[in-house]
């Protein structure tokens, strides 16, 4: 690292540069806001607040807002890193060892298992979205089922009997499914945490490789990119393991079982209220599809028959056309 030999001087240099940084950022932000409709909000603010402001500006911009949110999520991590490095760089001698950089990154980055905000559980997040807009997530549905769950949990393991035997058994299975889902989620998160820990090991290895002359890292972006390489390598190691395959499958299956139980409960209520259920609609859809398939086959058969008939007619026509000629020839002979 290029440092001044005088620590006091280095610190002063850093302070001066920092002032330049904030001034430039505020200036850039102010100018941009002055051209926008929200110019009155152009206040002096640190970078984080700047990004928040940025987010607010685009929050109503329809399809772009999601892009902006994704950009900002990344930018926040990146600026966090820049700021953390700045803080570290203002140390007594202005220099850093690899471990200090790793610690900085550990504090600054979001990585599977390390920060719930970004990678709490990708699959769970995906499954929250599966039913589309307006639909309840698994968690919400499970939450809504809490009264049943409390009741069911006390009954778990007990044999069901009597008039409400079927209901009781259903609640027991539902509760077991939710508990299993939680257990599988924990196993999945544990693997992500392991990937996270492994990422730091690989990062340190990769950093060590860069100690060779000519391979040193000279920009924050290069450092960040090296970190991403380490994180992806670590994740791939875990994600391609037999254990991950088993855990991933178990988690997906557990989540599907919970969802299925919820669907069954909804169907039960819908039936009681005399409303059509998904099973009925599926059943009709399937029959309709089979009928359409048969119709298509018949249409194609009919078209084939029509073609054959046309060919036969053509053949008949040509035979009829040939026959008089033959007859004429035979008369002549």
Partner 1 sequence: MEPIRIDPARALDEALRAQSKLAAGMRTLREVEDVNYGATDKEAIYREDKVVVYRYKGQNKPTAKRPILICYALVNRPYMVDLQDDRSLVKNLLSLGEDVYLIDWGYPDGADRWLTLDDYINGYIRRCVDAVAKHAGVKKINLLGICQGGAFSLCFASLHQDKLQNLITMVTPVDFHTPDNMLSHWTRGMDVDLFVDTLGNVPADLMNWCYLTLKPVRLNQQKYIGMLDILDDKTELENFLRMEKWIFDSPDQAGEAFRQFIKDFYQGNKLVKGGLRIGEREVSLKNITIPVLNIFAEQDHLVPPSASRPLGEHIGTKDYTQLAFKGGHIGIYVSGRAQREVPPAIHQWLNERTR
- Binders of partner 1 in range 236-255 (CB under 8 A): 236, 239-240, 244-250, 252-253
Q: Enter the tokens of residue 109.
A: 């980055």
Contact pattern from residue 20 through residue 49 relative to partner 1, giving x for each residue in contact according to CB under 8 A and a dash for the rest: xx--xx--xx-xxx-xx----------x--
For position 308 contacting partner 1 by CB under 8 A, the verdict is: no
Axis-axis angle for helices 7-34, 63-89 (nearest 10): 160
Q: Is the dihedral of CA 136, 149, 192, 197 positive or negative?
A: positive
Start-to-end CA distance of the chain, whole Å, equals: 113
Q: Which of 138, 145, 133 is nearest to 121 (CA)?
A: 138
Q: Which of 69, 118, 109, 112 is nearest to 85 (CA)?
A: 109
Q: Enter the tokens of residue 126.
A: 């995906």
Residues 6 or more apart whose Cβ sits within 8 Å of residue 104: 81, 84, 85, 88
Identity of the residue, 190 or 208, whose beta carbon is nearer to partner 1 in the bound complex = 208
- Largest Cα–Cα distance in the chain? 128
Candidate residues 209, 280, 294, 311; the one interacting with partner 1 per rule CB under 8 A: 209
Candidate residues 39, 87, 164, 208; the one interacting with partner 1 per rule CB under 8 A: 208
Contacts of the segment 29-36: beta carbons below 8 A, 24+ positions apart: 29/53
For position 263 contacting partner 1 by CB under 8 A, the verdict is: yes
Identity of the residue, 48 or 316, whose beta carbon is nearer to partner 1 in the bound complex = 48
For position 14 contacting partner 1 by CB under 8 A, the verdict is: yes
**Segment contacting partner 1 by CB under 8 A, of 74-82, 139-147, 266-274, 313-321:** 74-82
**Cα–Cα distance measured from residue 133 to residue 206, given in angstroms and rounded to the nearest whole number:** 43
Candidate residues 48, 99, 221, 319; the one interacting with partner 1 per rule CB under 8 A: 221
Candidate residues 256, 266, 270, 277; the one interacting with partner 1 per rule CB under 8 A: 256
Candidate residues 8, 218, 274, 329; the one interacting with partner 1 per rule CB under 8 A: 218
**Segment contacting partner 1 by CB under 8 A, of 64-72, 177-185, 268-276, 321-329:** 64-72
Q: Which of 93, 103, 76 is nearest to 14 (CA)?
A: 93
Q: How far is the CB of 186 from partner 1 (least distance, A)?
A: 17
Which DSSP string do the residues of 109-152 spell out, in sequence order? ---TTT-HHHHS-HHHHHHHHTT-TTPPPHHHHHHHTHHHHHHH
Stretch 99-128 residues interacting with partner 1 (CB under 8 A): 101, 110-112, 118-119, 122-123, 125-127
Q: How far is the CB of 232 from partner 1 (least distance, A)?
A: 6
Identity of the residue, 53 or 153, whose beta carbon is nearer to partner 1 in the bound complex = 53
Number of residues that bind partner 1 (CB under 8 A): 109
Identity of the residue, 289 or 298, whose beta carbon is nearer to partner 1 in the bound complex = 289
For position 89 contacting partner 1 by CB under 8 A, the verdict is: yes
Q: How far is the CB of 196 from partner 1 (least distance, A)?
A: 10
**Cα–Cα distance measured from residue 81 to residue 222, given in angstroms and rounded to the nearest whole number:** 12
For position 211 contacting partner 1 by CB under 8 A, the verdict is: yes
For position 270 contacting partner 1 by CB under 8 A, the verdict is: no
Candidate residues 6, 17, 99, 276; the one interacting with partner 1 per rule CB under 8 A: 17
Residues 6 or more apart whose Cβ sits within 8 Å of residue 101: 85, 88, 207, 223
Q: How far is the CB of 60 from partner 1 (least distance, A)?
A: 12
Candidate residues 45, 68, 197, 266; the one interacting with partner 1 per rule CB under 8 A: 68
């Amino acid at each position: 690292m290029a440092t001044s030999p005088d620590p006091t001087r280095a610190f002063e240099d850093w302070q001066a540069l920092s002032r330049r940084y904030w001034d430039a950022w505020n200036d850039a932000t102010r100018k941009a806001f002055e051209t926008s409709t929200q110019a009155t909000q152009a206040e002096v603010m640190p970078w984080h607040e700047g990004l928040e402001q940025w987010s607010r500006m685009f929050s109503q911009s329809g399809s772009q807002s999601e892009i902006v949110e994704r950009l900002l999520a990344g930018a926040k991590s990146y600026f966090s890193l820049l700021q953390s490095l700045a803080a570290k760089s203002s140390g007594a001698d202005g220099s850093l060892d690899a471990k200090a950089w790793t610690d900085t990154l550990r504090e600054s980055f979001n990585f599977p298992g390390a920060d719930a905000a970004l990678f709490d559980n990708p699959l769970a997040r995906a499954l929250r979205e599966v039913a589309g807009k307006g639909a309840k997530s698994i968690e919400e549905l499970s939450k809504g089922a809490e009264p049943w769950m409390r009741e069911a949990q006390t009954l778990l393991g007990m044999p069901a009997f009597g008039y409400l035997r079927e209901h009781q058994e259903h609640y027991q299975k539902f509760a077991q499914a939710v508990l299993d889902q939680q257990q599988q989620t924990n196993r999945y998160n544990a693997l992500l945490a392991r990937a996270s820990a492994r990422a730091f090991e690989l990062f340190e290895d990769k950093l060590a490789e860069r100690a060779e002359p000519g391979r040193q890292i000279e920009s924050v972006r290069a450092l960040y990119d090296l970190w991403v390489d380490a994180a992806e390598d670590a994740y791939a190691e875990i994600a391609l393991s037999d254990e991950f395959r088993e855990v991933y499958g178990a988690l997906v299956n557990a989540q599907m079982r919970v969802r299925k139980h919820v669907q069954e409960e909804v169907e039960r209520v819908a039936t009681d209220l005399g409303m059509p259920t998904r099973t009925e609609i599926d059943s009709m859809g399937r029959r309709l599809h089979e009928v359409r398939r048969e119709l298509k086959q018949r249409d194609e058969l009919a078209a084939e028959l029509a073609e054959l008939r046309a060919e036969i007619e053509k053949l008949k026509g040509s035979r009829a056309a040939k026959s008089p000629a033959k007859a004429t020839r035979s008369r002549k002979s």
